[in-house]
A and B are shown apart, each in its own frame.
Chain A
Amino acid sequence: MRRKRQKFTIPSKYLLLIMTCVCVLFMAVTFFTDFLASPLSNFAGGVILPFQSGISKVGSWMSVRSQELKSIRDIMQENEALQAQVDALTIENNSLQQDKYELNNLRQLYKLDEEYAEYQKVGARVVSKETGNWFHSFVINKGSLDGLEPDMNVMAGSGLVGRITEVGDHWAKVMSIIDDNSNVSAMVLSTEDSCIVQGNLETMDQGVITFSKLVNGETAVKEGDKVVTSYISTKYLPGILIGYVTQIESDSNNLTSSGTITPAVDFAHLEEVLVITDQKASYTEAGEN
């Protein structure tokens, strides 16, 4: 004789109700505190990140190969042109080196610290990107054990990528400046007028992000002007290149202007980034002391 054990089960409707309450509770808890974030994310980071970093290496290898096939002819032509440019630049570089040497000497004479000192940087690899199509954050393969902390700035090449919003032991989440949630306090390098640079999903299709609240805009600022991070920002170190002004127009209040910026970083092909381990808070403190 076979006896079936009667298992106690909750009807699915009640289960849904219970889980909804649990979810709402967790949402409230994580919204107001950091209580749950670190143990959960460390667990997930430990289990899933190794796979992600392995696979993304394969993925990037695949995409690099396919691009190679496409562009190998272009590259050969480009190479010749670039070779010529390298020669020209080498000569220019030599003379600039001499200038720099002279500048350093003069600075020492004036007892000026280098205003934009070389920041300490750590290289990291992008292991995974946001799975949805709405935002642009990604995860890199270094974390708190490598000395990273939230709010550290992230660069690629010479341009600003974003800042770290969350760290685990061996990973960190980076919110990029093209993310729809991102706001960066910036200034136009030529006029030192400050503005706010906002990521925007709508304009990202055209490869640009928006800026607004530029005081004294249209007359002084031209298309192609460099936009860098401002020294009044609390999170971003000063003088990091964000991009170039591509379009500018007056706001309806006739006081400020807004427009679009082409980012200096190619966000579609981001593989390696540099994390600046100096933080704005400590940087300004050190400057004052």
Chain B
Amino acid sequence: MKRNIFIVITVLLCFILQSTVFRWLAFGGIAPNLLVIITATFGFMCGQKCGLWVGFFSGLLYDIFYGNVLCFYALIFMYLGFANGYFKQIFFKEDIKLPILLITLSDLSYGLVSYILLFLLRGRFHFLHYLMHVIVPEIIYTVLVTLILYPLIRMINGKLDGTEKRSEDGFA
């Protein structure tokens, strides 16, 4: 229960921050993608289902405010969260290399899918330009933000783990 509340608050907070503060802190018009960070993080930290739901709801928020079609981004983010769930088995809390690699891959695939579905299909063929001016800068900025955001989520999640275990022990 506590964890669900924590997840809901995290999703809302990240969405609000991304659409406001991070837009003001954008470098060259490019802002980091917090939604990818939390979707991937909850995916490999809490498993496929959790990643799926987190991805679905953060994508849905995006769709409601900025999408032309409902559930378009929800679908993309849902698959991102689900795919990251596969890595729960080889995920260690102390290791930061795997999270960064996974978030980089997630953001890259998000960028590629967005480009293909929203731009390539409308006849915008300069893939290299979009890669160098949108996708790669977004990944770099996102990874930089990950270095700050990820330890925070990990710390709170660890504390929740602790309290859950304690309450279970007390109950027994």
Chain A positions near chain B (C-beta within 8 angstroms): 2, 12, 15-16, 19-20, 22-24, 26-27, 29-31, 36-37, 40-41, 44, 48, 51-52, 55-56, 58-60, 62-63, 127-135, 137, 139, 173, 180, 201-202, 204-205, 268
- Asked whether, in the complex, the Cβ of B75 is within 8 Å of the Cβ of A23, the reply is yes
Contact of B62 among A16, A59, A132 (CB under 8 A): A132
Q: How far is the CA of A16 from the CA of B129 in the complex (A)?
A: 34
Tell me which residues across on chain A come within 8 A of B21, comparing CB atoms.
Answer: 55-56, 58-59, 62
Would you give the 0/1 interface string for B93-120, flagging 1 where the beta carbon is closer than 8 Å to chain A?
0000000000000000000001100110
Tell me which residues across on chain B come within 8 A of A31, comparing CB atoms.
Answer: 69
Q: How many residues of B contact A (CB 8 A)?
A: 50
- Asked whether, in the complex, the Cβ of B71 is within 8 Å of the Cβ of A12, the reply is no
Closest residue of B by beta carbon distance from A22: B71
Tell me which residues across on chain B come within 8 A of A19, comparing CB atoms.
Answer: 52, 56, 78
- B129-146 residues with Cβ-Cβ distance < 8 A to A are 129-130, 133-134, 137-138
Q: Given known contacts A15-B52, A59-B20, is B31 in contact with A44 (CB within 8 Å)?
A: no
> Would you call the interface of chain B mostly helix, strand, loop, or mixed?
helix
Chain B positions near chain A (C-beta within 8 angstroms): 12, 15-21, 23-25, 28-31, 33, 35, 47-49, 52, 56, 61-62, 64-66, 69-72, 74-75, 78-79, 82, 85, 114-115, 118-119, 124, 126, 129-130, 133-134, 137-138, 172
Q: Given known contacts A55-B17, A129-B23, is B70 in contact with A202 (CB within 8 Å)?
A: no
Tell me which residues across on chain B come within 8 A of A2, comparing CB atoms.
Answer: 172
> Would you call the interface of chain A mostly helix, strand, loop, or mixed?
helix
Tell me which residues across on chain A come within 8 A of B12, comparing CB atoms.
Answer: 48, 51
Q: Given known contacts A22-B71, A48-B15, A56-B20, is B130 in contact with A201 (CB within 8 Å)?
A: yes
- Asked whether, in the complex, the Cβ of B114 is within 8 Å of the Cβ of A134, the reply is yes
